[in-house]
A and B are shown apart, each in its own frame.
Chain A
Amino acid sequence: MNEPSLKILPRRSLLARTFGLSMGLRHSTVAMIGVSLVGFWIFVAVFAPLLAPFEPNATHLPFAKPGTSFTGGAVFWLGTDHLGRDVLSRIIWGSRTVLFYAPLATFLAYVVGIMAGLVAGYKQRWWDEILSRISDIVLSFPVLVLYIIIIATIGASGVNIVIAIIFASAPGIMRIVRGLTLDLRNRDYVAAARTRGESSLYIMWVEILPNARGPLIVDACLRVGYVIITIGVLGFLGLGLPPPDPDWGGMINETRAMALVFPHMTIFPCIAISSLVLGFNLLADGLRELSMRR
């Protein structure tokens, strides 16, 4: 019987690892479709000022059908809404809103959740007790209800929505990270680091976290998608970002009463949201597939 030899692998640089990951994505069609969708919207968001034919809040001609031409040769490719604003431009600029707030909120929620999860899983004892209890309490509350109560009381603004999202998402993330930490803390390299005398902080951030990234990345993609929908729902219920800035959920809310006669005002933002969320979902699915194949 051969003893497994202690292989000490050199750590690849961050760049190399990301490159490897991206190349790995190639193997999954699902992931590629997801990446294209997300990438498309990121592109739109970044180059919004160049792409949008009109100012998003400028009022021109109410209820114009898609394809209507306007003075100066410009065309309302997707028509205008009830206040005469170009739908296409609003969707383009709206992507900025979505792709700013959703990833930001998710990222911050992750920061909080990761810190809490690492501590709970690694340090255990009373840290774990308290953090787990708190997260259980927040988790046992239906999520949307939580959002509504928070926003309805502290008011709707970008900052408040982000705070609400962090508050509602961090416990779930904490749970996942905690579970992963519990699993990973028993690995050899952790023990090795402890013997070397590294601090707990080092071990948590340098040894454990990077090795937990697989499931976390998948979860992150899914979660961003879900946050996008949540922001959309809040906008739909009238609790979203204050007008007039374009926000896809708000756009759908403002125009849905007239969707029968002028469907273009409502359908295109719906397609926008769905496609972006789909992108993230497919990406997550593809990543999961890849990790299982390995």
Chain B
Amino acid sequence: MSFWRDKTLHPYIPEIADEMLRGRVDRREFLRTATLLGMSATAAYGVAGKLTGGEIIPSANAQFLTGVPKGNFGGTLRVSMRVQPMTDPATFDWTEMSNVARQFLEYLFITGADNITRPFLCRRWAVSRDLKTWTLFLHQGLKWSNGDEFNADDVIFNFKRWLDPRTGSSNQSLFTAMTTSAPTGKQGRDGKPLMSTTMAPGAVEKIDDYTVRLHLNRGELALPESLYNYPTAIVHRRFADEGGDISKNPVGTGPYKLTQFKVGEKAVLQKRKDYWGGEPYLDRIVYVDHGDNPGASLAALASNQVDLVYETPVEQIDVVDKIPTAKIFETVTAQTAVARMQVDQKPFTDKRVRTAVRLCQDHDKLLLLAHRARGVAAEDHHVAPVHPDYAPLPGPAQDYRLAKKLLADAGFAGGLDLRIDCRKDPPWEVSLAQALAEMCKPVGIRIKINVMPNAQFSEIWDKTPFGLTAWTHRPLGFMVPNLAYRSGAQWNETHYSNPEYDRILDQASSTLDVKSRKQHMAKLQSILQEDAVIAQPFWRSIFAAGNKRVQGYELHPSVYHRLNKVWLA
């Protein structure tokens, strides 16, 4: 087959195709890695289909392929979602504001609802073997809504902005591999010198009008995923000159145009017939803000004032079932809550105590009690089955006898009093804390639950010795460990520090071959499980309620809205 000899493909792709043929890697894994390494999705599906026999284009993925599924043109989709102020995409801090923007701004890559990342504004890309040099080939002939052509200047402008400390973007910490730090000469409040982080010189290189090369100072496997993170929308190169506010000057490459925007009230988008990805179905999209009242969105859906709700909490599912015109969109995610213990605070300094807590969990029952059994039981190591690099590692089941013994060994034969901090909203977290506390009672661990208002909790979430922290979905398995369990990581709430763990994590984060990466991850997972740093009951599914007429909508695990292939029956 010509594809084996295609020099423009990443050299690793034929290898993994071979693995797939031999049955060592499944089709899904091949698709994911091949597209990750620059093969177009259509080609990858085609190749996979040919190699394994039979067409395998799943209808669910139709919206991400260039093949056009049947749908009705026209109509207005009304969505209930908070309409938050949006000015500069690089400083977005809530998903909702990015959803309005996502209808007219686009990203270099896209991670679909199936957790597979594909190129988007870039046509394809190539990466060096050491994962340090990424070359992005952009689409040609793509027009902004103001008529300008989209080209490398736009992309370079965006990268420069993100890495500039004056922009104040969280993207800077996302792309640390393209930055350098230098002391400013001033001192911070804690006496340490204040560092200033800026773009490393030469990190972004323009090859030609449609090609950009990125030079990283260390290998990054997850660069494509990072380029779909919600603050990385690509804005026009003159964004800063023209006011730096997309709500007032919504120039974008996307399928819709922003025609009206009122914070706290509504946002209206009109379709762009000349959209480069094909004419969208819906004429108009209206986002309606219903305040912080979750019941209001439901009531609006029931009385046909909206057609789709941004997110539906798990308690409302049964109600939606009873509304004849509504249905539930559901998706499995890597969203979770961990009861995490700080390893440098008594009594959690003793691994036996932590293990005892871990052993009290009946994961499936906790899932039933706290989340109506919608989700997947977890294994206390923070890597989910939905992650492609997940290695199955079932942990020990609930074991009260062992837990009691461990407690006694640690000196707490008479029982142990603990306090767990959790936040008031969403309610499933409170019920999880309660269910967990009930489960620990039989071994003598008495947990007092301290429910705090969300604002207060966000002040102390990483400082409390024992807390229930919710983590959001991230597409790859090693991403959260990098953020949470690496020594000294920014969000290392447990103060866990294990050089062995860090070493393996480094390896995993730069291993291209999925099979070897899984082996690293298996080691990683078992270390964390052994060390009992967290008690993690389950991974939860998320839901969005909508009218039965809404077709083609796929609920993304991060609830990103991409609505140009949605249509109304």
Contact = CB atoms under 8 A, between A and B. Distances in A.
Complex contact flag A–B (Cβ < 8 Å): yes
Interface of A: 57-59, 62-63, 82-84, 155-156, 238, 242-244, 254, 256-258, 260-262
B543 to A, nearest CB: 13
A261 B319 contact: yes
A260 B372 CA distance: 19
A238 B454 CA distance: 11
A76 B315 CA distance: 20
B464 to A, nearest CB: 16
Given A59-B435, A83-B431, A244-B434, A260 B302 contact: yes
**Which 6 pairs between the two chains have the least Cβ-Cβ distance?**
A257-B295, A82-B315, A83-B431, A261-B319, A261-B322, A242-B451
Given A59-B435, A257-B298, A261-B319, 8 more contacts: A59-B431, A59-B438, A83-B369, A238-B425, A243-B451, A258-B315, A260-B302, A260-B319
A83 B434 contact: yes
A262 B315 CA distance: 11
B559 interface: no
Contacts of B424: 238, 242-243
11 contacts: A59-B435, A83-B434, A155-B453, A238-B425, A242-B452, A244-B430, A258-B315, A260-B319, A260-B323, A261-B318, A261-B322
Given A62-B372, A155-B456, A257 B451 contact: no
Contacts of B430: 243-244
Interface of B is mostly: helix
Interface string B425-439: 101001100110010
Interface string B44-77: 0000000000000000000000000000000000
Contacts of B451: 242-244
B453 A84 contact: no
Given A83-B431, A156-B453, A258 B438 contact: no
Contacts, number: 56
Given A83-B434, A242-B451, A242-B452, A258 B316 contact: yes
A242 B457 CA distance: 13
B449 interface: yes
Nearest to B323: A260
Contacts of B449: 244
Given A59-B369, A242-B451, A244-B449, A260 B427 contact: no
Contacts of B395: none
Interface in B302-337: 302, 313, 315-316, 318-319, 321-323
B294 interface: yes
A250 to B, nearest CB: 10
B434 A59 contact: yes
A94 to B, nearest CB: 16
A155 B452 CA distance: 9
Nearest to B298: A257
A29 B372 CA distance: 49
A83 B427 contact: yes
A262 to B, nearest CB: 7
A188 to B, nearest CB: 56
Nearest to A254: B427
Contacts of A243: 424, 430, 451
Contacts of A238: 424-425
B369 A257 contact: no
A260 B313 CA distance: 15
B434 A57 contact: yes
B438 A256 contact: no
Given A156-B453, A254-B427, A63 B298 contact: no
A7 B100 CA distance: 83
Interface in B285-311: 294-295, 298, 302
Contacts of B318: 63, 258, 261-262
Given A63-B318, A262-B318, A256 B295 contact: yes
A58 B435 CA distance: 8
A291 to B, nearest CB: 44
Nearest to B431: A83
Interface string B495-511: 00000000000000000
A58 B437 CA distance: 10
Contacts of A244: 430, 434, 449, 451
B568 to A, nearest CB: 25
B363 to A, nearest CB: 16
A258 B319 contact: yes
Interface string B16-52: 0000000000000000000000000000000000000
Contacts of B313: 257
Contact of A257 (B294, B372, B431, B438): B294
A243 B99 CA distance: 32
Nearest to B425: A238
A238 B451 CA distance: 13
